Amino acid sequence: MTPANQSIFIKALLRQPTPRTPIWMMRQAGRYLPEYRAVREQAGSFLNLCTNPELACEVTLQPLRRYRFDAAILFSDILTIPDAMGMGLNFTEGEGPTFSKRLTTAEDIRQLPIPDPCTDLRYVVDAVSLIRKNLASDVPLIGFSGSPWTLATYMIEGGSSKNFQKVKSLMFEQPGLMHELLDKLAQSVAAYLNAQIEAGVQAVMVFDTWGGVLSHDDYLEFSLRYAQQVKQQLRTDHANGYIPSILFSKGGGLWLESMSNAGYDALGLDWQTHIGEARQRVGAKVALQGNLDPLALYASPEVIVEKVKTVLAQYGHGSGHVFNLGHGILPDINPEHVQAMVEAVHSFSPAYHGIS
């Protein structure tokens, strides 16, 4: 078997030749799968599922049993770091994540600890180790974290937000304090991802879910700056091989040139960005991941196949493309529609690659 760090997924992230375009899917271990829902019911709550390494391992592996995905992604949540900082993470069905505490003062921010991932987030490290033992040796495992900016939005807003009034007010009124928080979060994210690398992941991804709510200058100062700081602290030259990194900013199509200079090996694209134009803009600096509209999976399998073919054609010939959705899969998608997407990538992408 090919080692995971020599897989076509890793090769594509490093813009090396591949026989076809690799594919995985954001939220591929999730509610659209009946077997996931069964394990979630067994766990009793989403948080119990995240914090149980054995169950997290099981749901990570489930989609690989169904589909010919080229990578697994650790089952966890982007908000594990704030929870480890003592914020009190909760999930309410239909409402999304909330925190029992919210950052409201400078003292709140200054008292935040930087978690030790080997103790405060041990369940994640243990899950990575367990998944790696149970995952086929030729399938890479992706580790991940929320970006410093995205974590800050949840911690200041207390949960999800429609207008981000609280976090932007702090950013505008007390930029120095916001930088203190983001610096602390960048250190925490880097330590967390490094612990996942040590435990066995072969690639890491930073999810900047809310970067796109910022203006041009604010994105560069408060989001990208700290994603870049995380990258600079990552220990990617590992004994088991180089660990590629992916940066995904939802709504980040405006800043691709700046993002491509942040040091990451690949950029994730949402569905609103034309992948061919993105490729022209970033050149050979980074690989690109994406970017089928997640709602296309509600269409018939025949339509899905055509949409897949369009994305492949827009990227064009050559390596450096990892097929994915432009955001996470929605929970009520028919699993057979995912199958249509995966098989279309396997069937039609070899024509864009010059090796066999």
User: Has 31 been annotated as catalytic?
Assistant: yes
User: Has 264 been annotated as catalytic?
Assistant: no
Query: Which residue has 């994105």 as its token pair?
Result: 219
User: Has 235 been annotated as catalytic?
Assistant: no
Instruction: Say which of 31, 66, 122, 281 is annotated catalytic.
Output: 31
User: Has 225 been annotated as catalytic?
Assistant: no
Radius of gyration of the chain (CA): 19
Phi, psi of 281 (to 5 degrees): -70, -40
Beta-bridge partners for 92? 96
Beta-bridge partners for 344? none
Instruction: Say which of 15, 36, 70, 77 is annotated catalytic.
Output: 77
Instruction: Say which of 32, 36, 67, 154 is annotated catalytic.
Output: 154
Write out the two tokens for 218.
Answer: 């604010």
4 annotated to a ligand binding site = no
77 annotated to a ligand binding site = yes
252 annotated to a ligand binding site = no
28 annotated to a ligand binding site = yes
Task: Give alpha helix (H) positions in 102-255.
Answer: 106-110, 122-134, 148-157, 165-173, 175-199, 216-218, 225-233
Given a contact cutoff of 8 angstroms between Cβ atoms, the answer to whether 123 and 116 are in contact is no
User: Has 40 been annotated as catalytic?
Assistant: yes
Query: Which residue has 């030259």 as its token pair?
Result: 237
Given a contact cutoff of 8 angstroms between Cβ atoms, the answer to whether 302 and 293 are in contact is no
Instruction: Say which of 20, 32, 36, 40 is annotated catalytic.
Output: 40
30 annotated to a ligand binding site = yes
Residues carrying an active site annotation: 27, 31, 40, 77, 154
Binding residues for substrate: 27-31, 77, 154, 209, 327
Binding residues: 27-31, 77, 154, 209, 327
